[in-house]
């Protein structure tokens, strides 16, 4: 815990009428999160947002969306408004927000070992949750205008992708960089076939899915914005890369989604493309977000190259994939 973060967190408590409340550091990555208890006994997560990524207005749009989703019954992290009614507080250039504490464990840290059928059941549940998120957003839960940066073709495949120029990952060889540039051009052409574009979470990885007594809850909408809905499914699947059960998980995820929201067959067939796009994005993300982690950088680069090779050769990304 840095002294500066701790001081800002203590000062921020005043905005929620809880000056002097206890603080416990629970997460320190791009955002810094503390557990606390407000004066009325509400258990809460106080979040210090990473400077320079989303402005205060963009963060408040994100939180308003989450507030509306929670009201609509979608299990998401629910914001707590400050005493002045705002969704955030500003402290010396740092934006702070407060969320209701979610009881549970991140899906990526769940203790119980899962075999095939249990993994598939969990993927079905997650696919259904993503569908509910998209349906509720289209039904009015999303603020209009939704002034968040889009996950469009430029953000994923442009000259300056949102998460970085993935073909410049330092772990890549000259030949691998050339391959990714070729795959990037091919992917841009295929991407024109995707249709369902709207508000997405954009980072449905396992640590952003809480498993609790009442089921799954989505947290951390930090990267959210308008995008292709298949990108949410791809984000939920990307961490299964290399798992022999990846095909089973992909089918279960699609099954759960399609049971709640229309997913035409020609669109479902594009899921491998979006998994590749997520692999590319992560290879760019690691360049600036974890520059000292050479092992992770190399792993993300390798995954991106494998995805690019599959795209260029027409080879399925997993067993049974189109």
Per-residue pLDDT of the chain (322 residues; tens, 9 = 90+): 588 889 999 999 999 999 999 999 998 888 999 999 999 999 999 999 998 889 999 999 999 999 999 999 999 999 999 999 999 999 888 999 999 999 999 997 755 545 567 888 999 999 999 999 999 999 999 999 999 999 999 999 999 999 999 999 999 999 999 999 999 999 999 999 999 999 999 999 999 999 999 899 999 999 999 999 999 999 999 999 999 999 999 999 999 999 999 999 999 999 999 999 999 999 999 998 888 889 999 999 999 999 999 999 999 999 888 7
CB 262 within 8 A of CB 241: no
- From the list 295, 306, 250, the residue with the least C-alpha distance to 126 is 250
Contact 149, 80 (CB under 8 A): no
- CATH no. for 106-313: 3.90.1200.10
Q: Are 247 and 318 in contact (CB under 8 A)?
A: yes
Q: What is the 3-state secondary structure (H, E, C) of 173-186?
A: CHHHHHHHHHHHHH
- φ, ψ dihedrals at 212, nearest 5°: -135, -175
CA distances from 299 to 23, 198, 230, 240, 279 (A): 35, 31, 24, 13, 10
Cα 154 to chain centroid, rounded: 18
**How is domain 3-101 classified at the CATH fold level?**
Phosphorylase Kinase; domain 1 (3.30.200)
Q: Output the DSSP codes for 48-84.
A: EPPTTTS-HHHHHHHHHHHHHHHHTT--BPPB---TT
Beta bridge pairs of residue 216: 211
Torsion, Cα of 277, 282, 285, 289 (10° steps) = 160
User: What are the extents of the domains in the chain?
Assistant: 3-101, 106-313
Angle (CA) 235 147 144, round 5°: 105
Q: Provide the H-helix boundaries in the chain.
A: 3-12, 56-71, 116-136, 153-157, 174-191, 230-237, 246-258, 265-268, 271-289, 294-313
Structure tokens at 264: 């035409």
Q: Which residues contact 290 (CB under 8 A, 6 or more apart)?
A: 296, 297
Equal fold, 3-101 vs 106-313: no
Contact 150, 202 (CB under 8 A): no
């Amino acid at each position: 815990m840095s002294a500066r973060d701790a001081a800002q967190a203590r000062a921020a408590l005043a905005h929620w009428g809880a000056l002097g409340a206890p603080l416990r550091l629970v997460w320190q990555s791009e955002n810094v999160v503390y557990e606390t208890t407000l004066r009325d006994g509400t258990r809460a997560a106080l979040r210090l947002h990473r400077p320079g990524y989303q402005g205060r207005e963009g963060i408040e749009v994100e939180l308003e969306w989450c507030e509306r989703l929670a009201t609509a019954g979608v299990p998401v992290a629910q914001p707590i408004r400050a005493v002045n009614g705002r969704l955030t507080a500003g402290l010396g250039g740092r934006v702070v927000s407060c969320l209701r504490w979610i009881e549970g464990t991140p899906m990526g840290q769940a203790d119980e070992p899962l075999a095939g059928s249990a993994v598939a059941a969990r993927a079905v549940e997650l696919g259904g949750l993503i569908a509910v998120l998209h349906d509720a957003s289209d039904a009015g839960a999303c603020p209009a205008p939704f002034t968040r940066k889009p996950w469009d073709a430029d953000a994923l495949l442009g000259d300056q992708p949102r998460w970085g120029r993935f073909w410049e990952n330092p772990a890549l060889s000259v030949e691998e960089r050339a391959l990714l540039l070729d795959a990037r051009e091919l992917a841009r052409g295929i991407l024109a076939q995707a249709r369902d574009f709207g508000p997405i979470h954009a980072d449905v990885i396992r640590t952003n899915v809480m498993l609790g007594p009442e089921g799954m809850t989505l947290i951390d909408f930090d990267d959210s914005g308008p995008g292709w809905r298949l990108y949410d499914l791809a984000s939920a699947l990307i961490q299964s890369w290399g798992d022999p059960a990846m095909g089973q998980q992909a089918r279960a995820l699609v099954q759960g989604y399609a049971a709640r929201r229309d997913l035409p067959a020609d669109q479902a067939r594009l899921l491998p493309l979006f998994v590749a796009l997520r692999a590319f994005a992560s290879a760019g993300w690691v360049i600036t977000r974890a520059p000292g982690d050479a092992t992770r950088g190399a792993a993300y680069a390798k995954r991106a190259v494998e995805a690019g090779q599959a795209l260029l050769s027409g080879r399925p990304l997993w067993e049974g994939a189109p």
